[in-house]
Amino acid sequence: MPRVAFLGLGAIGTPMARHLARPDFDLAVWNRTASRAAEFVAAHGGRHAATPADAARDRDVVITCLPVSRDVEGLLDGPDGLLATMPSGSVLVDCTSGDGATSRRMAARLAERGIGFLDAPVSGGVVGAERGALTVMIGGDAAILERVREVIACFGSTIVHCGGVGAGDALKAVNNALLAMHLWGTAEGLVALEKAGVKSEIALQVINQSSGRSNASMNLFPERVLTRAFPRTFRLALLDKDVGIAAELARETQVPSPLLQLTSELFRMAHRELGEDADHVEVAQLVERLGGAQIGGRGTNA
C-alpha cells in the first residue's frame, strides 16, 4: 500500500488529492489553512496532518502543489518542515508550476539525504483534475519517475518525462505563456471585430473552423466570456507568474523574445489592475475596457 502525503489543497490540489483518497492508499494531507484539510478529510478520507513534518513521516511519496516553488522550498526546513521526517528513499513530487532554478536547488538538498525529487507541473485545469486526466510534465531522473508512476497516474492520464530537473517547469511555463498570448490576442481581435460590426459569436464560429483557433477560442471564450460566467478556476496571479518564468527562461537562454517579454509585461499589468483573486480569463474584461466594446456585445453595425 503506497504511503502518500499531499500538501496544498487549493483549486487544483484538492481535486488531484481526491484521487489519492482510495482504500488501497494510505493518504495524509496538510494545508496551510487547516480548515481546508479538515473539510477534505471529512469528505474524502485520509489523515489530517498537523504540520508538513507530520504529513511526511513514513511516506514513500510526498506531493506538493503550491503557488510557486519558493513556497515549497519554504516547507523544507525547521522542526515542522519536510526534511525533519522525510525518509531516505522517499520522493518529493512537486506539482507546483514552478521555476527550474528553485527546483534544482531543492533536488540537490534532498539528494544529500537520499530523497528523490521530480518537478511535475500539470495541465488540464480543474476539470482535468476532477477527471483524473491531467497531463503531467516530469523533470528529473527517469528511474525515480518509474518508482512513483503508479501514484502520479491516479490524477495524470498523460505522464511525459521531459528531461532533467527543471525541464517540466520550463515546458509548463512556455505552455502557459502560449495560453496567455492566445487569451490576450483573441480578446484584442474580438473587441476590434465587435467595433467593426462583426458579432463575436460569428467571429468565433469562423475562427474555430480556421487556422487562428486555440483552446482559448474554442473553449474559454465560448464558455466563459460570451456567457459572462467568468468562473474562478485558475488565478490570473498564477498565470502572471508562469509567463514571468517563461520570459526569464528566454532571457537565461539568450533567445531574443520580444513577444514573451511583452506578454509578461501585459500580464503583470493585468494582475496589478485586477488583483489577487481574479481569474485568468478576466483579462478579456480588461481588453474590453481598454477597447471600449464588449465581446459578445452587439457588433456596432449589427
H-only helix segments in the chain: 13-18, 34-44, 52-56, 69-73, 100-111, 125-131, 142-152, 167-195, 200-207, 215, 236-252, 258-274, 283-291
Residue 282 Ramachandran class (φ > 0 left, ψ -120 to 50 alpha, else beta): alpha
Residue 234 within binding range of ligand NDP, rule CB under 6 A: yes
Residue 13 within binding range of ligand NDP, rule CB under 6 A: yes
Contacts to ligand NDP from residues 269-298, by CB under 6 A? none
Looking only at the bridges linking them, the beta strands covering 61-64 and 3-7 are: parallel
**Lookup: cell for 246:** 517563461
Residue 238 within binding range of ligand NDP, rule CB under 6 A: yes
User: Which of 3, 6, 8, 140 forms a contact with ligand NDP (CB under 6 A)?
Assistant: 8
The catalytically annotated residue of 172, 195, 199, 241 is 172
140: closest CA among 182, 113, 180, 170? 170
Residue 9 within binding range of ligand NDP, rule CB under 6 A: yes
User: Which of 56, 61, 65, 115 forms a contact with ligand NDP (CB under 6 A)?
Assistant: 65
Residue 11 within binding range of ligand NDP, rule CB under 6 A: yes
Residue 122 within binding range of ligand NDP, rule CB under 6 A: yes
Distance between CA atoms of residues 247 and 259, nearest Å: 9
* Contact (Cβ atoms closer than 8 angstroms) between residue 6 and residue 27: yes
User: Which of 76, 84, 126, 159 forms a contact with ligand NDP (CB under 6 A)?
Assistant: 126
Nearer Cβ to ligand NDP, position 179 or 250? 179
User: Which of 31, 85, 90, 103 forms a contact with ligand NDP (CB under 6 A)?
Assistant: 31
User: Which of 135, 175, 233, 257 forms a contact with ligand NDP (CB under 6 A)?
Assistant: 233
Say whether 199 is catalytic: no
Start-to-end C-alpha separation, the chain: 63
**Lookup: cell for 58:** 513514513
Catalytic residues: 172
Query: Where does this chain bind ligand NDP (CB under 6 A)?
Result: 8-13, 31-33, 36, 65-67, 71, 74, 96-97, 122-123, 125-126, 233-235, 238
